[in-house]
Amino acid sequence: MNIIKERNKINRAIRKNKIIFLMAHKNLDLDALGSCIGMNQILKRKRKKSYIIIDDKEHEPGVEKILRELDGCIDIIRSEDIDEYKFEKDNKNLLIILDTNKKDLVQSEKALKKIENKLIIDHHELGKTTIKNAIIINDKKTSSTCEMITNLIEHYEVEIDSYYATILLAGIVLDTNNYTLNTSAETFYTSYYLTLLGASAKKVQYLLKQNIEEYTERQKLLSDIETINGNIAFTKATPNTQYRREDLAKVADTLLFFNNIEASFVIGKIGKDLIGLSARSLGSYDILKVLEKLGGGGDSVGGAASFENTTISKVEQELKKIIKEIGE
């Protein structure tokens, strides 16, 4: 599905509402934030008032840089303040959800209840926890939500600042892992178009720069890799080290660069009593089948799951058991 083919649905949803709220998934990354900012620029062109909902208390380095540099340039609110900004008639408010379609992954489930009209723009697979009662624009063949929003920007001929173009490009670079995953000719064209708008490859690298301490901690996860069935890479953290969800995801991405590896699974502690699992695939191995059996979600090339009040070893045992069952 090309998002331009669905533009009439988007146009109608925007046109009939007075105030528009934008929201992505928890633990914002550059694709999530970039698509929100890009959509914000489209709405400005359409003379619609919009607010970006961000409840995250901590941010990854690239997101932190953007929010700091754009302080005062875009309207950001917390979900607890939605009522203060809503239009007086409830049916004249619209919530646009970007880069996720799962109700348990959004910045705020309260926002889903407070705002009646919903529009989802996303590139991840739909699943059991996909938000209901919403207009869904979903294109899992597209590299990123930033690519989808850039297509709209080009279609509407929206003039955006070069820095906003750079943020959108950074979202594409992040989600494709430097154009190595889920990349098509359209992805390269979209990136080219963003450079025409002034996007800076040098600035993208600045946004993608990593914290050296976090990088060092992630490298520890690469010291004890094992393979399953010859084509699945697996690694786990020690119980006394806590990681962020995105750290596990980055390690899972890295594992795909090894010879003969088609999929990867990484397990680590992500909270006091919370174990996280991140999975990635080049496409030939359907990790979603594994993740769904573990109570997680995502799509055939990327996803995650989390487990409360258990141990890394128990999650590992269950993961390997399911992989074996599916293999048989």
CA triple 266-267-273, angle to 5 deg: 155
pLDDT (0 to 100) of residue 295:
86
Q: pLDDT (tens digit, 9 = 90+) per residue, 118-160?
A: 999 999 888 888 999 999 999 988 999 999 999 999 999 999 9
Comparing CA positions, the residue from 141, 130, 142 lying closest to residue 97 is 130
181 contact partners, CB below 8 Å, separation of at least 6: 143, 175, 253, 256, 280, 282, 301
Q: Which of 49-58, 239-248, 267-276, 309-318 has the lowest mean pLDDT?
A: 239-248
**CA separation for the pair 178, 256 (Å, rounded):** 13
Could you state, in order of their start, the residue ranges of all structural domains in the chain?
3-208, 213-327
* Side chain identity at residue 262, one-letter code: E
Comparing CA positions, the residue from 32, 30, 11 lying closest to residue 22 is 32
Give me the chain's average pLDDT, please. Answer: 92
Model confidence at 314, pLDDT cuts 50, 70, 90, reads very high
For range 165-187, the mean pLDDT: 92
Looking at per-residue confidence, does 11 or 246 come out higher? Answer: 11
1: pLDDT strictly greater than 70? no
252 contact partners, CB below 8 Å, separation of at least 6: 264, 265, 266, 278, 279, 280, 302
Tokens at residue 201, please? 């490859």
295, 324 in Cβ contact below 8 A? no
Kindly report the number of other CB atoms within 10 A of residue 81's CB atom: 11
Is the domain spanning 3-208 CATH 3.90.1640.10? The answer is yes
247: pLDDT strictly greater than 70? yes
Model confidence at 315, pLDDT cuts 50, 70, 90, reads very high
pLDDT (0 to 100) of residue 250:
87
For range 258-275, the mean pLDDT: 93
98, 108 in Cβ contact below 8 A? no
33: pLDDT strictly greater than 90? yes
233: pLDDT strictly greater than 60? yes
CA triple 107-112-117, angle to 5 deg: 125
For range 215-240, the mean pLDDT: 91
Tokens at residue 202, please? 């040098």
CA dihedral 244, 249, 251, 254 (to 10 degrees): -150
For range 65-74, the mean pLDDT: 94
299: pLDDT strictly greater than 80? no
Kindly report the number of other CB atoms within 10 A of residue 325's CB atom: 11
* Side chain identity at residue 184, one-letter code: S
Model confidence at 114, pLDDT cuts 50, 70, 90, reads very high
Model confidence at 328, pLDDT cuts 50, 70, 90, reads low
Looking at per-residue confidence, does 328 or 249 come out higher? Answer: 249
Task: Give the fold, CATH level 3, of 213-327.
Answer: Diaminopimelate Epimerase; Chain A, domain 1 (3.10.310)
Strand ranges across the sheet with 19-23: 76-77, 49-53, 19-23, 93-98, 117-122, 135-138
235, 251 in Cβ contact below 8 A? yes
Looking at per-residue confidence, does 288 or 145 come out higher? Answer: 145
For range 212-239, the mean pLDDT: 90
Helix intervals (H) in the chain: 7-15, 30-45, 61-69, 82-85, 109-114, 145-156, 162-175, 185-196, 201-208, 212-220, 245-255, 287-293, 312-327
Model confidence at 287, pLDDT cuts 50, 70, 90, reads very high
